[in-house]
Amino acid sequence: MPHRLRREFDKEFAEARKIAREARADALPWLYWAIAASFYLYEFFARVAPSVMEGTLQKDFAMNASGLGFVMGLYYLAYAPMQLVVGITLDRFGSKKLLSTAAIIAGVGCLAFALAESAAILGLGRIMLGIGSSFAYVGAVYVATVWFPRRKLAFIMGMTAALGTLGAALGQAPLEVAVQDFGWRSAMYTAALGGLVIAILIWLIVPRRPDWFLKLAEIESKESKDSMFAGLREVVSNGQTWLVSIISLLLYVPLSTFGALWGDEYVATSAGVSKDQAAWAITMLFLGFAAGGPLLGWLSDKYQTRRLPMLLGGGLCAASMGMLLLASFLPFWLTVVFLILSGFFAGAQAITFATAVEQHSSSCKATAVAFVNFFVMLGGFILQPAFGAVLDITSKTDSYTASDYRMALVLLPISLVVGTILCRWLIETDTP
């Protein structure tokens, strides 16, 4: 590059960075992020809600475990491929209109679920929820990458994951109480209204992308704004992003498979407790994740390492999930402790998204996050029905014993061990 052009380039970059620092130092970015992240809280609530309705849904719609697993897994089938579209469109158009529209679609999905009189309509509701929800996490992370400096990314992503899992926690014991008092359909009607409220808040409060961010993206990527798929090509061609994606999928199985659908019934059956007690126990899994995500993210930022927290988190989570195989032989309080620990150490999964962001330029950060999330959701689609299929194969009756659940549950610590081993080949990013 000629010296004159180099000087102009450096000047433009310095000016954009100065404006960015000033804007990011304000308190308003926290409000923008909180509103965007509330959509993730909402969709996570709706995602896991069927876990406390499992028995009722099987009875009302005459489905076995694998059938219910398939219908509920349609959420992930819709969500996963949408991630590639989500990343590209967010990088191209920003978050304001996309997130508000997506929240409405998710709300309509909850409404269809509530109105369903057949398994087909139930599945349609899950598909619509999956399409709308596909924008939630990536959109919140995208807002964070715009309005927060890089040195805070892992912490913010941990906080985003924490809000999501608080939604999941609300979808356990509190929802169980609501379902018992008012019925599962009334609960889903209320969830449908929540989507509309969040859409309005995003539209009114979350701003468009600032000009200084677009300038930084243009300078960093040296790509034309019109090259819509340049970001996707950059992400797909990066081998480390593929590795991070697989690790993220495997570290998330305690929540995507156990917490989101099968955990309630397993704890109730294996520990010999009521559904209410089991729901409260699974709530602890999500609250553990809500605590672990921000704390492990903060430690990752503080000590400028991504790989070590993921190694420790994955290994300790595998050990905790392995102990849950002994739920029938443990005091119930100890089962709850291992659920909390499993969720806490699974929180290391949030760091994978910070790693993906740091591997790419500003013009394709949303695409990178979406690519990782694609794998995570694909894992949910595969593992939820796989778990149900193992239950149907091992069970000799229409009901499932603790031993049946334990045979299927073995899949979880195995996945975590593989994910932890893969961290060995993860190259550290240049964290500031």
Does residue 431 sit within a domain? Answer: no
Does residue 120 sit within a domain? Answer: yes
- Helix runs in 324-425, H state only: 332-346, 351-358, 365-394, 402-409, 411-422
pLDDT beyond 70 at 41: yes
If one counts the domains in the chain, the total is 1
Rounded (5°) CA angle 384-75-197: 135
CA dihedral 207, 212, 218, 224 (to 10 degrees): 60
Does residue 276 sit within a domain? Answer: yes
Does residue 376 sit within a domain? Answer: yes
* Mean pLDDT, residues 261-273: 82
Digit-coded pLDDT (tens) for 210-219: 665 666 666 5
Does residue 347 sit within a domain? Answer: yes
Digit-coded pLDDT (tens) for 66-116: 788 788 878 888 888 888 788 888 888 888 899 999 999 999 999 999 999
Does residue 432 sit within a domain? Answer: no
Here the CATH number for the domain that contains residue 318 is 1.20.1250.20
Is residue 321 exposed (0-12), middle (13-18) or buried (19+ Cβ within 10 Å)?
buried
As given in the structure block, the two tokens for residue 426 are 């993860």
Predicted pLDDT of residue 422: 96
Banded pLDDT at 334 (limits 50, 70, 90): very high
Predicted pLDDT of residue 186: 93
User: How far apart (Å, rounded) are the C-alpha atoms in residues 54 and 75?
Assistant: 15
Q: At CB < 8 A and 24+ separation, what contacts does 306-309 make?
A: 306/154, 306/351, 306/354, 306/355, 306/358, 306/426, 306/428, 306/429, 306/431, 307/423, 307/426, 307/428, 309/348, 309/351
Predicted pLDDT of residue 342: 94
Banded pLDDT at 169 (limits 50, 70, 90): confident
DSSP assignment letter at 325? G
Among residues 58, 114, 152, the alpha carbon closest in space to that of 354 is found at 152
As given in the structure block, the two tokens for residue 425 are 């080949």
Banded pLDDT at 368 (limits 50, 70, 90): confident
Banded pLDDT at 225 (limits 50, 70, 90): very low
The pTM is what?
Answer: 0.74
* Mean pLDDT, residues 190-194: 94
> Which are the contacts of 194, defined by CB distance < 8 A and separation ≥ 6?
42, 45, 107, 110
pLDDT beyond 90 at 258: no
* Domain range enclosing 410: 3-425
Helix (H, G, I), strand (E, B) or coil at 335: helix
pLDDT beyond 70 at 223: no
Does residue 430 sit within a domain? Answer: no
Predicted pLDDT of residue 202: 95
User: How far apart (Å, rounded) are the C-alpha atoms in residues 282 and 263?
Assistant: 7
As given in the structure block, the two tokens for residue 60 are 């009302």
Among residues 176, 161, 169, 164, the alpha carbon closest in space to that of 44 is found at 164
As given in the structure block, the two tokens for residue 227 are 């090259």
User: The dihedral of CA 393, 399, 402, 405: what is its sign?
Assistant: positive
Banded pLDDT at 139 (limits 50, 70, 90): very high
| 216-225, 237-246, 272-281, 358-367: the lowest-pLDDT one | 216-225
Q: What are phi and psi of 409, to 5 degrees?
A: -65, -20
Q: What are the distances in angstroms from CA 47 to CA 75, 132, 168, 237, 406?
A: 8, 11, 8, 31, 24
| Buried/exposed 164-188: b ≥16 CB within 10 Å, e otherwise | bbbbbbbbbbbbbebbeeeebeebb
Q: How many residues does the chain have?
A: 432
Does residue 240 sit within a domain? Answer: yes
Number of H helices, E strands in the chain: 22, 0
Q: What is the mean pLDDT of the chain?
A: 83
pLDDT beyond 70 at 252: yes
Q: In which residue are the tokens 């876990």 written? A: 51
pLDDT beyond 80 at 61: yes
Among residues 422, 254, 250, 429, the alpha carbon closest in space to that of 354 is found at 429
User: How far apart (Å, rounded) are the C-alpha atoms in residues 179 and 56?
Assistant: 10
Ranges 52-61, 239-248, 272-281, 353-362, most confident: 239-248
As given in the structure block, the two tokens for residue 417 are 């061990």
Predicted pLDDT of residue 432: 44
Predicted pLDDT of residue 264: 81
CB 379 within 8 A of CB 323: no
